[in-house]
Amino acid sequence: MTDLSLYIDRNKELVQKELINQLDQQTIPEVLKESMLYSVEAGGKRLRPILLLASYEAYADKLEKALPTAVALEMIHTYSLIHDDLPAMDNDDFRRGKPTNHKVFNEATAILAGDALLTYSFEIVGTDTGLSDEQRIRLVRMLAQVSGPTGMVGGQLLDMEAEDRAVSLEELERIHTLKTGELLRFAVFAGAYIAGANEKQLAALEKFAYYLGLIFQVQDDILDVTGDQEKLGKPVGSDEENQKSTYPKLLGLKGAQNRKDYYVIEAKKALQLAGAEGSTLMELTDYFSNRDY
C-alpha cells in the first residue's frame, strides 16, 4: 500500500522541477517566458503527469525514463487552462487562487504563451533520446490526436455548444470523454507503453482511462456545486452561471454520485484485466473519485 499523499507530493515536486528546467534551458523572448512560467509555476494538482508516472511504475522501474513525456503532457494541460480562461472562452479571472494569465499579462500574450507550451510539448517528446524512434513517433502521434480536434479541442467546442440547452447522458459522456478523458487516456497509455506493457494490457488500460476520465469530470461537476472555493482556487457555481451541462444538472447530486460509483467499479475491473490491480493506479482511482479540490 502506497502512502498516496507522499507519493503525490514527491512526484508533483519532480514534475514541477522538470517543467521549470525545460523552460529555463530555452532561449525564449522575456515576456513570453514570464507568461509561460507564470502559469507553470502556479502549481496545480499535476494529476495527469502523476498518473502517467504511476502507469509506468505499474510495469517498470527507473521513473526518469517517463518524466519528459509526463512534463510534455502537463504543458499541454497548462496551455488548455490558459486558453480556457480567456474572455472568449470561460472568461475567468482566477485560476489556482491567482489571477489568470491574461489578467496579469494581456490576452495576446496569454494566447501566445498557450501556443508556445502546446508546440514545445511535441518537441520534448520528439527529441527524447531515452525513447526509441518507434516510441517517439507513436507518442507524438497520439499526443496530437488526444489534444487536437478529435480529442480535447473537439470536446471543448462540444462543451460550449451544449451551453443553454439540455443534453442527454450519452452526449455529456462524449463531451467529457473528449474534453477531459483523452489527456488522461494518453497519460495512462503512455506511461505503460514506455514501460513495455503489451498490447493486451494497453487495451485494458485504455478502458480504465475512459472510466477514470468520467470519474474525474463527475467529481469536478460535483465540486462546482458543493466544493470549498478556497480549496478549489476558483469560484464555485461557475458551471451554473455559465449554463454548462453537468452531471448534477442532468442527474441531480445523488444521481451524479451514483453514476460516479458505477464508473469507479468499471475502472477497477479494467485495471484487473491489465494486471495492474496492485498498483498505485488503483489507489489513484479512489483519489480521483474523492478529491475535494
What domains are defined for the chain? Answer: 4-290 (1.10.600.10)
pLDDT at 271: 96
Q: Is the pTM of this model over 0.85?
A: yes
Distance between CA atoms of 83 and 62, rounded to whole angstroms?
A: 34
Task: Please check the confidence at residue 234 and state whether its pLDDT lies above 60.
Answer: no
pLDDT at 228: 59
What kind and span of H or E run contains 121? Answer: helix 107-126
The conformation of residue 177, written as its DSSP 8-state character, comes to I
User: What residues are paired with 99 via a beta bridge?
Assistant: 94
> Is 94 strand, coil or helix?
strand
Task: Please check the confidence at residue 232 and state whether its pLDDT lies above 80.
Answer: no
Distance between CA atoms of 241 and 157, rounded to whole angstroms?
A: 18
Distance between CA atoms of 273 and 215, rounded to whole angstroms?
A: 19
Q: What is the pLDDT confidence band of residue 212, given thresholds at 50, 70 and 90?
A: very high
Task: Please check the confidence at residue 264 and state whether its pLDDT lies above 90.
Answer: yes
Q: What is the pLDDT confidence band of residue 231, given thresholds at 50, 70 and 90?
A: low
CA-CA-CA-CA dihedral for 9, 15, 16, 18, to nearest 10: 150
**Cα–Cα distances in angstroms (integers) from residue 120 to residues 68, 108, 163, in the given order:** 12, 18, 32
| Of 176, 156, 161, the residue nearest 246 (C-alpha) | 176
**Cα–Cα distances in angstroms (integers) from residue 109 to residues 23, 32, 38, 44, 138, in the given order:** 16, 7, 12, 21, 32
Least confident span in 86-100, 181-195, 196-210: 86-100
| Of 40, 45, 46, the residue nearest 67 (C-alpha) | 46
Distance between CA atoms of 191 and 9, rounded to whole angstroms?
A: 19
| Of 66, 78, 150, the residue nearest 120 (C-alpha) | 78
